[in-house]
Amino acid sequence: MRLKLNLHLNTVPYIKSDENIQMDNIPAIPDIARRFLLLYKQEKIEEQDILLLQTDYPEFFSSLLSVINSDHFNLTTKVKSVFQAIELSGLERICNLMLCLVMYRAFNRVKTLPLAS
């Protein structure tokens, strides 16, 4: 049985534990990730490019900065902007972190129901 999920902001989809997750169950890549990856392909990124994304997705960038400034990310100094983090850590590392955060948010919306007795 194939299960299709529709992810909407106001609904939380559920998967029964005994159902297989198929490729068509995986949520589409969010726009923020797609746009960030397009920046990654550029030879040079300007601070203005990041600020435009940050204006469109302030909550996401706030979460990203929180993770960047956490002890787990292991920067020697606290940063005030994602662009500053890119300068210190490199675009690839920040891009990987961004993708992890996007995946976590996307899959965190999918809850698993216990098997029926």
Map out the domains of the chain as residue ranges. 29-113
102 exposure class (CB count in 10 Å sphere: 0-12, 13-18, 19+) = buried
pLDDT of residue 3: 42
Q: How far is CA 55 from CA 14, 48, 49, 93, 96, in A?
A: 32, 10, 10, 22, 21
Please give the pLDDT value at position 55: 93
Q: Which residues contact 33 (CB under 8 A, 6 or more apart)?
A: 98, 99, 102
In the chain, the amino acid numbered 58 is P
Q: What pLDDT score does 12 carry?
A: 46
Convert the pLDDT of each residue in 13-40 to its tens digit: 544 555 555 556 566 778 888 888 888 8
pLDDT at 1: 42
Q: Collect the ranges in the chain with pLDDT lower than 70.
A: 1-27, 109-117
In the structure encoding, which two tokens stand for residue 117, read together? 């007795």
The C-alpha atoms of residue 50 and residue 90 are separated, in whole angstroms, by 14
- Closest-CA residue to 68 (of 52, 86, 50): 86
Q: What is the pLDDT of residue 32?
A: 86
